[in-house]
């Protein structure tokens, strides 16, 4: 089975709608075509995981990132491949170059509600973990220290 290392960047914002994550539609020949995913892909030779996440995000979206922080790493098995995800976060301003249709509201009480069959299965745990992380830093008051307003 093919094993792939993937660096990805999760764009997020806190808006009047609450926590929102930005995802794009995957285009590939295969069973994952049309599902939502976060920008990212393979690491090039000599590149750090962080550099790869930023490069892929900017190549795929045309938008620029500001502060980028490491989040977590995940492993996931698909029938035809194994992936190891290196996840980074970047807060996006309310007005940025990202397509508005890509924003998805994440409910702290049910982060996958409405997304279960629309996102890559490799991202199910990631979205749940992000929801818990953001809820915790919102409730304990550390949000503004970790992610000051843009």
| Confidence (pLDDT) at 91 | 94
Q: Which CATH superfamily groups domain 2-146?
A: Nucleoside Triphosphate Pyrophosphohydrolase (3.90.79.10)
Is the Cβ–Cβ distance between 111 and 130 less than 8 Å?
yes
Tens digits of residue pLDDT in 44-74: 999 999 999 999 999 999 998 989 999 999 9
| Confidence (pLDDT) at 104 | 93
Q: What length is written for the chain?
A: 150
How does strand 68-77 pair with strand 81-91? antiparallel
Tens digits of residue pLDDT in 10-56: 999 987 778 899 999 988 787 788 899 999 988 999 999 999 999 99
| Confidence (pLDDT) at 69 | 95
CA–CA separation, 40 vs 114, rounded Å?
A: 23
CB atoms within 10 A of CB 135: 15
Computed over its alpha carbons, how large is the radius of gyration of the chain?
Answer: 15
Nearest 5°: phi and psi at 100?
-60, -30
| Confidence (pLDDT) at 57 | 95
Segment 81-98 shows an average pLDDT of 90
Residue 125 has pLDDT above 80, yes or no: yes
């Amino acid at each position: 089975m093919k094993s792939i290392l993937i660096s990805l960047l999760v764009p997020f914002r806190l808006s009047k709608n609450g926590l929102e994550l930005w995802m794009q539609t995957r285009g590939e020949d295969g069973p994952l075509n049309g599902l939502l995913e976060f920008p990212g892909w393979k690491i090039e030779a000599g590149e750090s995981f962080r550099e790869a996440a930023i490069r892929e995000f900017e190549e795929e979206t045309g938008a620029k990132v500001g502060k980028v922080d490491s989040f977590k790493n995940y492993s996931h098995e698909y029938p035809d491949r194994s992936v190891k995800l290196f996840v980074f976060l970047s807060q996006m301003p309310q007005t940025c170059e990202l397509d508005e249709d890509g924003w998805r509201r994440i409910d702290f009480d049910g982060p996958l509600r409405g997304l279960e069959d629309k996102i890559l299965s490799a991202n199910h745990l990631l979205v749940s973990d992000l929801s818990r992380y953001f809820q915790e830093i919102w409730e304990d008051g550390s949000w503004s220290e970790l992610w000051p307003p843009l």
